Chain A
Amino acid sequence: MNLTDEGSIIERCKKGDREAFASIVQHYMKPAYYVALGYVGRPEDALDLSQDAFVNAFRHIKRFDSSRKFFPWFYSILKNLCMNHIARTRRRQEYSIDEMAEEGPVPIPVETVDPEQNALRRDLEARVGQALQRLRPKDREIIILQHFQDYSYQEIADLLGIPIGTVMSRLYGARQAMRRELERLGVR
């Protein structure tokens, strides 16, 4: 997860070097996407918002202290964008005239890394996706990073700028919630 000499790359970004910023984007685009997916729950929105967050980060890069890690700072920008997006989506639903036609939450697409697929497994994937969608954004975020993308505790702590102890306590709460949701959907 380490970007060699991130500080000097950030210094180049501060001078307007877009190639340097490209290396930052390429290094962090996947965690950015997963964090956004945790918040907004829709893959296409997550991709869009994570890209917008990089644009905002580049615009304000001069304010960033290059002796610190980039991602926790970027994370606050991304989180704000996601929260605004959630608020906007809620407003849009409130203004919707045709409430009956309002679409329900779409399950987060989940797949098994296993070529031998069967109907039962696909049904389980759909339920897991539904359970994931029903979690609070904060819980969903940590579950996606650790449970579904295999980030280590240290990597999550570095990404979110929190201590490892907090990673464990957040994961504990999130897994409890996930278990409850799966039980509600008949997965035991």
Chain B
Amino acid sequence: MPEDTYKPLLMGYLDAELTEIEVLRMEQHLEQCPECRRELGEFRKLKEVTQNMRVVTPDARSWEEYWSHVYNRLERRIGWILMSLGAILVASYGVYSLVARFLLRSDIPLVVRLGIVALVAGFCTLLISVLRERIFMARMDKYERIKR
């Protein structure tokens, strides 16, 4: 076997994950290869240093509540979809009513109709602009993790 094949197998040897045949082959190779013996020694030291260490896991309560958090997010997403659908329907009806009740009526002076169009367009522009800014700021806010 080429030298490079043994390097990853060193890991299996170190962690006792090799088959008996692989272990024998690895031990034969180690007898002849000072480089692999040196590396194995260094990996053993690393294992000793980190022996019995674990990454700190969330507490038991976080695991108990894990599913309910996932469930709430699932439910909220459905809520958002329904709310957005409703908002689109209501907004469409609003635009339709605006056009039908005011803009197409010749008895209302043109200035008033133009004023209503400008008012609605301005309000919508401002609303979208503020919303966009808020969303952008929320994404870029580097203090978002700081608890007040």
Contact = CB atoms under 8 A, between A and B. Distances in A.
Interface of A: 18, 22, 25-26, 29-30, 33-34, 37, 43-44, 47, 51-52, 54-55, 58-59, 88, 91-93, 95-96, 102, 108-114, 124-125, 128, 132, 144, 146-149, 152-153, 164-165, 168-169, 171-172, 175, 178-179, 182, 187-188
Given A51-B70, A55-B70, A92-B142, 13 more contacts: A25-B66, A26-B67, A52-B73, A55-B74, A114-B52, A128-B50, A132-B55, A148-B54, A152-B17, A153-B17, A172-B8, A172-B10, A175-B43
Interface string B6-28: 01111110010100000000000
Contacts of A51: 66, 69-70, 73
Interface string B48-77: 011011111110001100110111011001
A175 B52 CA distance: 16
A59 B78 CA distance: 10
A144 B55 contact: yes
Contact of B139 (A88, A169, A179, A187): A88
Contacts, number: 111
Contacts of B67: 22, 25-26, 29
B74 A58 contact: yes
A178 B46 contact: yes
Nearest to B144: A92
A162 to B, nearest CB: 12
Interface in B120-142: 139-142
Given A93-B142, A182-B46, A112 B52 contact: yes
Contacts of A147: 47, 50
A47 B66 CA distance: 9
B46 A179 contact: yes
Nearest to A147: B50
B77 A59 contact: yes
B139 A111 contact: no
B42 interface: yes
Contacts of A109: 55-56
Q: Which 6 A-B pairs have the closest CB atoms?
A: A168-B8, A109-B56, A169-B8, A168-B11, A55-B73, A171-B11
B145 interface: yes
Contacts of B17: 152-153, 164, 168
Contacts of B140: 91-92, 95
A187 B55 contact: no
Contacts of B50: 128, 147-148
Contacts of B73: 51-52, 55
B53 A112 contact: yes
A18 B63 CA distance: 18
Nearest to B43: A175
